[in-house]
Structure 1
């Protein structure tokens, strides 16, 4: 929100400096983003008159000027401007002065033999625009020798403030002046809108076909207008805040938008088809050619203003070009309406349309101000453009905006930490426009002014008839009802506390430390965060690079990663995980697993010649829309060959690489390795027979790993082999909190014995290892597989599994007989569990 100091003083009677005003604005919550003083860089420039302009004796394109700047001294100036002539009034800069448009400090010079003692300036050289076609040409009555910035009114600072979403009333110069007056910076000037007498019947009437489109609308015509350029004072104000003057009628509507926070629109009566303007919802196939020159396809959720030919404006956002006013307009029709803030915001967002009107309507306007705004606009149009006014056309009715709010005095100290006298609390509210309805010993009840729709706010007041909110665009009925309930239940007392505190200056609120919840602070990270960080470090240490990918992908790609272990039945992603409004057409589905995203990244790398990649990601996999359907996963993908090393031969990655990654993460997270088992029922995007599922018990799945199915690789255009793993972090049980005890350090050396068993091809190594470990739990510390052999000496359909068993004595050194007894128990346990035979 921008305004000039003189504009502010139209509403505020004050002698305060711009610095004091800025300091107060910051203190009351209207943060000043900047103050632009255009006069600072131009303060030394003077209005000058060209006494004589003659051709330069040594240059065809230069002229020699004799210039008077009002100090009685004639100066020689060499100038190349085509409009330099005798008698011209312009702006001059003297030696030693800095010219902002060129970045040069002037000094006396000589150009082709002629002395130049000053410079006649163009608008661009002064930094006041892009015009460099000639030097500034001022009116003949401009006072020679006077300060240019003062004569041009450029010594008027421009103040820019940041307005929070709840303060629609502060998006107007009068609203800012009202707050400053309440804070003690001057007095708010009275404002009124005398009625303009009607001299003829209105040629256009309003009708509200659908209350959702508009709540209340007023309008009247003015005929006999002359729509030329607006006066200089109006153009200067609009230009100062960054608006381009267009014509008197358009400039007046822009002026009211900023001056009083009341957006208006004017129609050219001769361009409107029919005699009725309707407030209704858009219909299928309708489009609007807006004033910004763009075409917009409207939806059934857009409130519009339409004539017999179709849409003429998007309600509360932007008008249409077909009925806009131009230099040929002789009769205009003023629209002054009240639109639903939520619908305006959603329509603007839907069409990516930003306007000054939208920013005010979506914050909520003063619902009682429409009649006065229409009268004031009518009067200004007649004053600047001439003409006579028609009668007023009206549709709808003023909504029931009246509401009260109660403040308990002790809440100022309880919520704000500031001790204030009760009379001071009431006085601050009164200065802000809150009228006292009743006062008791411990509280006061006030009537909320119409312009403060953020206090005790209830958006249902903006709905037709003041009914409850029943529909939010884009929300299902259940969520809409919840949103409506929330809007109607805003606590007004906290709003009043904020108003009282800010009026005395937010910097006056004493800082109060939060209460200490415990002597010993709680842990900075949750167990889940600790697990994630540890998993990330482990995978990075194993040579994997971390990737951060989108959590969504193309639906046909997501269909390749279904949960089923069999691939004969195509899998379809759940409709609930399909994105209604994706950021791109190929990112319309929430991913079923991070493995899919990592494989896509590997494919992009392979397509660019980087085939050997190892990537990991800690992300989410999505099963359904419920919170429990979003799983935290540490996933990784390896593709191509293992890293080259001078001491090792290069080889392609295999399922054991992925298994090693998964097991390393589980071990680092404290999962007991002896309790794990591997099954062969991996999801269908893994290669059957070259993949597995790591379980803790029959039901708890901790991880999956394996080679990626060839059909998946082909669909992703990724040449194999590729392996992947997933560790489900949420499935890992929390470690039990145990008291620290002395470390278990046996006094005797461990013994290691190797066994080779011939078993059926269908027997999993894990089954054999589990049997070996259970043969003697008191002495056997571990059992590990170190070789798998098929070939000569091993029958067809069988394999040889060689394991190493660690025996740890605890009470005494074992004798040979005791060691042989343990070995016999191991062989017996393995034979019983698997049908294995000890290999000779």
Structure 2
């Protein structure tokens, strides 16, 4: 919420500077997000007089002005404004100044052969309005040489405060002033509620037929208004809050909403027919709101309607048809109390936000209907004229007060600050609470968030200052602390460090995806359906991610678009699925993407090497190895019906499994269609490691954090090469696996060093050459031992169709 310092001081009697105000707000828990002063952008702009105005010798539509900026000098300025004339007062920007509206730096320049030293500015160029037809024409009594910001009252800092959802009382400037006064920064000024003289009964029937959604609906008619522009002071305050002035009637309702946190609505009476009623919508009804969009309504929503239909989505946005215009002469002013829960559900269902909804769904003060209506009415009568009818009060607002028994000692035990009881009483009373002699505290109607004594402790602590809460460490049990990290948390830490050590950069992406991205990486692996949000932040964040790869690929595209030649990203997070029983199924996963150049371009090696599927496989195996997985025994298999490989290139992707069913990881080159969907050029490889599928080791005995001593073998290993003819469809990994397992007592390593197909190899087959490493334990191998082990290797190869090549 934004407001200017002068606006705050309209409610708070204080001499505090903007810095002191900001410090106090932060201290009492109202976080300041920023401070801006509109005068800063106008520091170089001064009130100047046009001494002479002569035609430009080379251009019919330009004039050459002689301008006095207030120091008695005469600067030559070329100007194209039709209203520029000798003797007028305007605003001059010298060379070196920056134009607020467009950021243009003014320089001494030649315009059609005539030197120009700065410019005379229009209202739009100064950011002070929309008029750009000519330069700003100031009154004759404007002080020559004065800074324009000071003259226009723009030297007024604007403070931006982040209001948490529980502080509905601070959704108006007066509520913030009340908090500051309670914190000792000043004195809260009395609320001025004007007494409006009503003239005659209200000519319109007003009632509420939806006591659940709209318990109270107050209104009155004001006839004979003139909907002109609102006064400058009001426009300045609205602009400081980020609001665009529209017309007096609209500006007044917006102003009171920001000033007191009290939304209201003014209807053009000429557009209404019959009784004006707060009621439930009928399924299928629709209304075109003030934003120009049509909304379909349901029976769970509260609306304001007349005999012709709906005019207002109650508490959220008025209708386009009955809104006030320049021609409006009579208005119906509505001030109502809407149930916060009803407003929140309606806004979520329609995906419609507004300043009014922000306040109503938090809960406005139900006791401020009469005062709010009188304040708004008085402003309309003062600015727009007219006569006000008597007030119609339909329904009853929920103004029942609540009481909480409070013990002052709780402030020390719960809040950690020792505050005298009389000081606590003074703080609570300054915030609007009533405290009797037995410390029964009556909650003001504007504090819907206060429910128990702990909330009262928070109020006292806030006003003393959150920075006064001592930092007290929790007591520590004697001895060595028991480990608290779960095995999965330990695995996550280990994998994060291993991935970073492998040269990759960690990314942290949103857990939400657009529907099209989720569909490309959807849940087809038996986990269940994707989670689609009923009320997403935006259409691009509608589905909980079923894969980490879309976020990583989007990040990769952004990096590549900004000139990155090599991208190595990983992320550890959860994939989200909806199980068949409707529960949430969250799967911890590590995703990685490699794109661009694997090596740098060099005069020695020519072009840079690109990442391929084997790089992804190598990264996966290295990471699984760091997790304690015996990677030598993993099976390299296709995707079958897992649905995990739809986004991969069908001939350049696979899964790594521990047994035929337990998929530990998937990897491969991205499918060209998927890469195109993410605007990625060239080969991109990716992988996902399913950390939840990695079997956890069972603890055996007491924890031992020391590595076993390194004991090198006493005898030299023996290496033998074998070449086998196998069918082309047989994965080399299958051959390696069966040979590695045929004699575990002696064979310690098997590696592939050659693959050949061509002359000498039968069609449909391929020659795979392997190196087998055999390690003797207590004695050297004899020829008979080596022959026996070779026979085992040959026999094992035969299990997968391998024949020793002659």
TM interval, short-chain normalised: 0.7 to 0.9
The change in CA–CA distance for 1:226 and 1:343 in structure 2 (over 3 A counts) is same
- 2-structure distance, mates of 1:647, 1:411: 74
Seen in structure 2, the aligned counterparts of structure 1 residues 797 and 215 have a Cα distance that, compared at 3 Å, is same
- The question of whether the paired residues in 1 share the 8 Å contact of 2:217 and 2:395 is answered with yes
198-207 vs 584-593, which moves further: 584-593
Q: CA contact under 8 A between 2:56 and 2:64: conserved in structure 1? A: no
Equivalent position of 1:297 in the other structure: 295
2-structure distance, mates of 1:371, 1:753: 97
Question: Residue 453 of structure 1: CA displacement?
Answer: 2.1
Instruction: Name the structure 2 match of 1:503.
Output: 463
Q: Could you tell me whether the CA contact under 8 Å between 1:682 and 1:691 is conserved in 2?
A: no
Alpha-carbon distance between aligned partners in 1 of 2:761 and 2:279, rounded to the nearest angstrom:
89
In the TM superposition, what is the alpha-carbon distance from 1:614 to its structure 2 partner? Answer: 11
Residue 397 in structure 1 maps to residue 364 in structure 2: no
State how far apart, in whole Å, the 2-side matches of 1:759 and 1:95 are: 85
Paired residue for 1:823, among 787, 791, 802? 787
Conservation of the 8 A alpha-carbon contact between 1:4 and 1:156: no
Counterpart of 2:710 in structure 1 is 743
Q: C-alpha displacement at 1:445, in angstroms?
A: 3.5
For the residue of structure 2 that corresponds to 1:368, the secondary structure is helix
1:395-434 correspondence runs (5 A):
395-434=394-433
Counterpart-to-counterpart distance in 2, 1:762 and 1:54 = 93
- 2:263 counterpart of 1:260: no
In the superposition, the TM-score normalised over structure 1's length comes to 0.70
Q: CA deviation at 1:726?
A: 5.4
2:777 equivalent among 795, 805, 810: 810
* Aligned equivalents of 1:35, 1:714: Cα separation in 2: 44
Change beyond 3 A, Cα 1:779–1:307 = same
Contact 1:29 1:502 in 2 (8 A): yes
**Higher mean C-alpha deviation, range 770-779 or range 210-219:** 770-779
Contact 1:577/1:589 (<8 A) preserved: yes
In 1, the alpha carbon distance for the partners of 2:685 and 2:122 equals 70
* CA deviation string 1:76-130 (max 9, x = no partner): 89897765779x7746889999898797799xxxx999xx999998656876446
SS in 2 for 1:391: coil
Q: What secondary structure, in the 3-state scheme, does the structure 2 residue paired with 1:321 have?
A: coil
**In structure 1, what is the Cα distance between the partners aligned to 2:126 and 2:668?**
71
- Structure 2: any 5+ residue segments left out of the alignment? 559-565
The alignment of Structure 1 onto Structure 2 pairs a total of residues equal to 766
Counterparts of 1:336-735 in structure 2 under 5 Å? 336-345=335-344, 347-348=346-347, 354-437=353-436, 439=438, 444-456=439-451, 492-512=452-472, 526-533=489-496, 536=499, 554=516, 558=520, 562-563=524-525, 574-577=528-531, 624-625=578-579, 626=583, 628=585, 630=587, 632-634=589-591, 662-673=620-631, 675-677=633-635, 682-683=640-641, 694-696=656-658, 700-703=662-665, 727-734=689-696
What residue is the counterpart of 1:481 in the other structure? none
Structure 1, unaligned stretches of length 5 or more? 457-491, 565-572, 605-611
- Cα separation, 1, equivalents of 2:517 and 2:265: 46
Pick which of 513-522 and 235-244 moved more.
Answer: 513-522
Distance change in 2, residues 1:794/1:242 (3 Å):
closer
Given that 2:747 and 2:774 are in contact with CA atoms closer than 8 Å, whether structure 1 keeps it comes out as yes
> Which piece of structure 1 moves more, 159-168 or 689-698?
689-698
CA, structure 1 residues 426+147, in 2 after alignment: closer, same or farther (shift >3 Å)?
A: same
User: How far off its partner does 1:363 sit?
Assistant: 3.0
Deviation at 1:336, TM superposition (A): 0.1
Quickly say closer, same or farther: Cα 1:594–1:128, change in 2 above 3 A.
closer
Question: Is the Cα–Cα contact under 8 Å of residues 6 and 156 in structure 1 kept in the other structure?
Answer: no
**What is the DSSP-based 3-state SS (H/G/I as helix, E as strand, rest coil) of the residue aligned with 2:284?**
coil
Q: Corresponding residue for 1:175? A: 175
Q: How does 1:213-362 map to 2 (within 5 A)?
A: 213-231=213-231, 233-235=233-235, 237-238=237-238, 241=241, 243-281=243-281, 283-284=283-284, 286-290=286-290, 292=291, 294-300=292-298, 302-345=301-344, 347-348=346-347, 354-362=353-361
**Residues of 2 paired with 1:94 and 1:786: CA distance?**
77
Q: How far apart are the structure 2 equivalents of 1:503 and 1:351?
A: 39
Distance across 1 between alignment mates of 2:94 and 2:554 = 66
Q: Distance in 1 between matches of 2:181 and 2:407?
A: 25
Separation of aligned partners in 2, 1:591 and 1:16: 50
**The 10-residue stretch of structure 1 (361-370 or 184-193) with the greater mean CA deviation from structure 2:** 184-193
In 2, Cα distance between equivalents of 1:655 and 1:75: 75
Distance 1:613 1:92 in 2: 53
What's the TM-score once normalised by structure 2's chain length? Answer: 0.73
Q: CA RMSD in A?
A: 6.2
Confirm or deny: 8 A CA contact 1:367 1:401 kept in the other structure.
no
Structure 1 residues 499 and 754: alpha-carbon distance in aligned structure 2, compared to 1, 3 A threshold: same
